[in-house]
Amino acid sequence: MKAFLLALATTIALPAVADAQAFTNGSFETANFDPGAFTQLEAGSTAIAGWSIDSGSIDYIGNYWNASNGNRSIDMSGGVAGSISQTFDTVAGRAYTVSFDLGGNGDSGPATKTLDVLATGGVLGSFSAPASTRPSIDYTSFTYSFVASGTLTTLSFLSTTNTSFGPILDNVAVSGAVPEPATWGLMILGFGFTGGSLRQRRRDVAAIA
């Protein structure tokens, strides 16, 4: 039992490296600055925690319009169509589902804003949402599924609306993700105590017999 508890303590005490690759900040609430109404970010920026701007530019939205979750969102077309990505832990061969909310910047055309989603090893998914008049943006919820091809997966969102008024992204979540090590530790602890209780019960029954 002591050996089991020692192994459990090690499992819980060493999550830092694995946690660094957990999917995070899906509603874009955390960044190293306050965007105000909105701030344009160019390719190469990592100002939004967990995410990188890979191409073009995006507008990081503060109070310019309503978010679907929290207070911030992203117009995926800043000066031009942009793309963002995040890399996180996965299990090869496991199925994952990405959910997200999509709206459209109605400050100018086109009337429909379009976006592609792609995960490493997955199939390209294309989505669209009608433009809305700010400050009240209408969001539609979508899902995108993929099977991980390795232990790390890069999830990318790419605007296909090449104007300054693009699709609005918010509330991204990934289900099927690997539990954090601390969660695994609690699960193992539960299994260990259950097994220990069963063994003690069998010994008690044997003693009575």
78-95 confidence digits (pLDDT tens): 999 999 999 999 999 999
Q: Extract the tokens encoding 140.
A: 């539609």
What pLDDT does residue 204 have?
Answer: 56
Note the Cα 59 to chain centre separation in Å.
Answer: 19
What pLDDT does residue 181 have?
Answer: 52
Distance, in Å, from the CA atom of 42 to the CA atom of 40, rounded to the nearest integer, reads 7
* Class level of CATH domain 23-177: mainly beta
What pLDDT does residue 95 have?
Answer: 96
Q: CA 158, 164, 167, 173 torsion: positive or negative?
A: positive
Q: pTM, whole model, 2 decimals?
A: 0.77
What pLDDT does residue 21 have?
Answer: 87
Distance, in Å, from the CA atom of 181 to the CA atom of 199, rounded to the nearest integer, reads 27
What pLDDT does residue 209 have?
Answer: 54
**Region for 107 from its dihedrals, namely left if φ exceeds 0, alpha if ψ lies in -120 to 50, beta otherwise:** alpha
- The DSSP H or E segment spanning 193 is helix 181-208
| Residue boundaries of the structural domains of the chain | 1-19+180-209, 23-177
What pLDDT does residue 3 have?
Answer: 52
Contacts of residue 114, defined as CB under 8 A and 6 or more positions apart, other chains included, come to 126, 127, 128, 159, 160, 161, 167
Residues of the chain scoring pLDDT < 70: 1-20, 177-209
What pLDDT does residue 1 have?
Answer: 56
Q: How many CB atoms lie within 10 A of CB 20?
A: 10
> How far are the Cα atoms of 10, 129, 147, 196 from residue 169, in angstroms, in the given order?
39, 10, 22, 48
